[in-house]
Structure 1
């Protein structure tokens, strides 16, 4: 499954609704599936581990590279690119979280 589609599904229906195994190759690089489910069940804007998890997933999907958003990856239908491209943060975890929020807000 395309990583971009997986991210959209993750945000729109939640990780529990995605069939077992489809995200596993990506999740194993960031955390275990059980840890991911636990984190997503208790979403908290102040949870640094949660924010870093999103950064990791976005980096694996090439949405973020070298601490910056990759513009060419934000060419998905339905994304208001201008709003998402403006995001910046010196903290990589904060940047990942902000980009995921942007996807959520503008898809």
Structure 2
């Protein structure tokens, strides 16, 4: 699993600014044909929602259509750091939806709301 702190960073950094610095984001954007223009003009389109699902799957936050649980032993953060963000992250990790793109979008929106 990837670091929870990296996940939070990815979710809080605006998608328009992180295209250049994040290979996961770049790969998912290429797969979905997502550009900064598309993000700006169609932020709730199915393609954008699937982009978020792609990112979260690549980061192993969503596995087989379900948001995964985290074990501190596999996270690259200290317990003190995790305690500081746990309350904000936990509700987002409990989101369920049968459509993987909608699930990815809802998890992203939850994290973005909690980490503006």
Cα separation, 2, equivalents of 1:15 and 1:101:
12
Alpha carbons of structure 1 residues 103 and 37: separation in structure 2 relative to 1, 3 Å: same
**Displaced runs of 4+ in structure 1, greater than 3 A?**
15-19
1:92 paired residue number = 100
Unaligned runs of 5+ in 1: none
Work out which of the residue numbers 85, 93, 96 in structure 2 matches 1:78: 85
2:49 paired residue number = 51
Pick the structure with greater CA Rg: 2
Alpha carbons of structure 1 residues 72 and 89: separation in structure 2 relative to 1, 3 Å: same
1:106 deviates by: 1.7
- So what's the TM-score if we normalise by structure 2? 0.67
Cα separation, 1, equivalents of 2:35 and 2:55:
11
SS of residue in 1 equivalent to 2:60? coil
1:8 deviates by: 3.2
Alpha carbons of structure 1 residues 35 and 69: separation in structure 2 relative to 1, 3 Å: same
- So what's the TM-score if we normalise by structure 1? 0.72
- How many pairs were matched up? 99
1:27 and 2:25 are equivalent in the alignment = yes
Unaligned runs of 5+ in 2: 76-81
